[in-house]
Structures are given as C-alpha cells and as structure tokens.
Amino acid sequence: MKRREFVTLVCSLVAAWPLVGRAQPKPHRIGILATTSAATTRSALSAFLEGMSQFGYALGSNIELVERYADGEIADLPVLASELIAAKVDVMVVSSRPAIAAAQRATKDIPIVMTAVGDPVEAGFVASLARPGGSITGLSNIAPELSGKRLEILKEVIPDLKRVAIVRNPSIATFAPMWQETERVAASLGITAVPVDIVDPAGIEPAFASMVKNQVQAAVFLSDAVTASQAPRITGLAAKERLPVMYPLNEFMKAGGLLMYGPDSIDLWRRGAYFVDRIIKGTSPADLPVQQPTRFELIVNLRTAKALGLSIPSTLLARADEVIE
C-alpha cells in the first residue's frame, strides 16, 4: 500500500471512530443560589433554561446545574454559597439581595449574575449600573415608583380606602425611596399610610397582629426577599384576617394572593441567560452593564377576591396580564 493511501485509510478510520471514544468538552457548571424553595423557583429556573437554549445551551449536554435553595432560611445562605464554590461552579445565578450578599462574601473569583435586586449600587454589589466594576452583574428590579402605583390600583379595588398598612423592611437599602414614593401617593389619594415593619420571618405574625390592631382596610407589601421567601405563610394569614393585600411579586400569587403588580420576575430570569452566556464566552462581569426591568405585569385573583367579598372593576380586569379564576 502506498503511503498516501495508508494515510487516507487512517484518516477515514479516525473519522468513523465512535464519538464515545473521544474526549467530550466539559459542561459549564452553573450554580443556582435562591432564598426561596426549589418548588417556588421552578418556573423561574425553567425560564432561565429557555433563555440559555436560545444561546445554544442544553441541560445535560454543554451545561449542568448545581442548585442550592434556602427555603426561606436566610441564615443558611452563606453555607449554601460555600457549597457552590466547593462544587467548582463556573458562574453563580443568584435571585435575591440576601443571596447575592452571601455569594459576594463567599467569593471574589466566581462571576455572579443577579436576576433581581432592588438597587445593586446602594447595596454595594456594583460600582454603577453602566460599569459594574467587579465580579457581579445582571438585572435590577429597581422601580420605586411601582410602590405608589400599587396603592393606586388597590384604591381602584377599594374606592373607600382610607387607611392602609405599608409593609416594609427598613433594614434594606431600597426601603427609603419606596416608602417616600408610597407616602407621596397616599397623601394625594387621601389615604393614611400606616408603616408595618418585617425584618425577619419571626416578625410576620406580629406584623399581622399590628395591622388588625391598627384597623387598616388593606395592605401593600414593598419588595423584600424576606417576605417573598414566606409567601404561602403570608397569604394564609391575609386570608385568615380577611385582609386585601397588594403584593410586589408573582410568588405571592402562586400562593393565593389577591393582587400583584411589578416586574415580570420570570422574564428577569430568562434575560439572565444573556449574562451567563457572555461570561462563559469570556466577557468580564465588570464590563457587562446591569439591566433594568422592561416588562411589568398585573395579576388579579378572582377566587381570592370572591372570598374577600370584593368586586374587581371590569376596567382593571381588562388591563390585567393574568386573571386567576
């Protein structure tokens, strides 16, 4: 056999060799760190994987997930973040302010992608939205004006609304602008805003007791990871006290909440895939500007409204992105 024919034969055999015999590229390991439970995060995670698929990634093929959920136990987040580091993830996708803070303290080397946080600059996660400057980037759900809008929508549902509880967490950096905007709108609507503080899960029952004592007609919850992680517990207490509540996140609606208006959290997770893809391809988080929400949703639960004896105006139903019947 001539040398040229021999080389051609060898090349043909190599090309035909089963793929299992060749070294496969190592999948990129993506760590998921969430304050909530796996069940609560499932639809958001599905949206994230859908976003990743648009960039050519598939679970079990070129990416794998390492998931850690705090189930509402904020104190567990540092340990969970350390577990992700030990698992040698390439990037972390993190879904709340406490989780981002835990990840930031745990590592300066692994890139962190935020899927939602109120004000990442004030929280110290990034230097600025345009130039994050460190190992953290992603999406912010900052929109203080939404707090006032939620109060306006609640007024549509309860026209004689005069006294409303504003449930807040004064320990978070975004509290001040949200509270100021809520007070401003409340005054313009002739409503007395009664502040009620919840800084940890232990404060939830006392907060509802305070609302009952203060004889409020309804409540508006400001965005906060502590209350979001306790959504079923909170909506259960609201039902028990027959208290109409306007919520800031979809998690509460899944647990039977009455009304929700705010950034589309599922869309934020989907958009988080863009940052992960760019980081995998070599872009530094420091050079990826933080993005803000572009989609907002209004959800109305007619079953809960009926249980509370409320009639939802047809004009509001026509504007709703989703009506639960």
What Rg value do the Cα atoms of the chain yield, rounded? 24
Residue 137 shares a structural domain with residue 279: yes
pLDDT, residue 320, reads 96
Residue 189 shares a structural domain with residue 314: yes
Residue 40 shares a structural domain with residue 97: yes
pLDDT band for position 254 (cuts 50, 70, 90) = confident
Are 91 and 110 spatial neighbours (Cβ–Cβ below 8 Å)? yes
Please state whether the predicted TM-score (pTM) of the whole model is above 0.75: no
Number of domains within the chain? 2
Residue 239 shares a structural domain with residue 191: yes
Residue 97 shares a structural domain with residue 75: yes
- Flag whether 204 is in a domain: yes
Domain span holding position 222? 145-263+297-324
Are 160 and 312 spatial neighbours (Cβ–Cβ below 8 Å)? no
Residue 257 shares a structural domain with residue 127: no
pLDDT, residue 20, reads 46
Are 108 and 135 spatial neighbours (Cβ–Cβ below 8 Å)? yes
For residue 259, the cross-strand partners are 246, 300
pLDDT, residue 144, reads 67
Residue 41 shares a structural domain with residue 72: yes
Residue 103 shares a structural domain with residue 198: no
- Flag whether 209 is in a domain: yes
pLDDT band for position 147 (cuts 50, 70, 90) = confident
pLDDT band for position 39 (cuts 50, 70, 90) = confident
Residue 319 shares a structural domain with residue 180: yes
- Flag whether 8 is in a domain: no
The per-residue pLDDT of the chain, averaged, comes to 89
| Lowest-pLDDT choice from 216-220, 250-254, 307-311 | 250-254
Q: Vertex 208, ends 202 and 214: CA angle to 5°?
A: 135
- Flag whether 35 is in a domain: yes
Residue 60 shares a structural domain with residue 171: no
Residue 139, pLDDT > 60, answer yes
Residue 177 shares a structural domain with residue 77: no
- Flag whether 21 is in a domain: no
- Flag whether 9 is in a domain: no
Q: Residue 147: which H helix or E strand, with range?
A: helix 145-157
- Flag whether 99 is in a domain: yes
pLDDT band for position 96 (cuts 50, 70, 90) = confident
Residue 151 shares a structural domain with residue 131: no
User: What are the backbone angles phi and psi of residue 180, rounded to the nearest 5°?
Assistant: -60, -45
Per-residue pLDDT tens for 1-37?
444 454 444 444 444 444 444 556 799 999 999 988 8
Read off the CATH number of the domain in which 83 is found: 3.40.50.2300
- Flag whether 4 is in a domain: no
pLDDT, residue 4, reads 47
d(CA 124, CA 9): 62
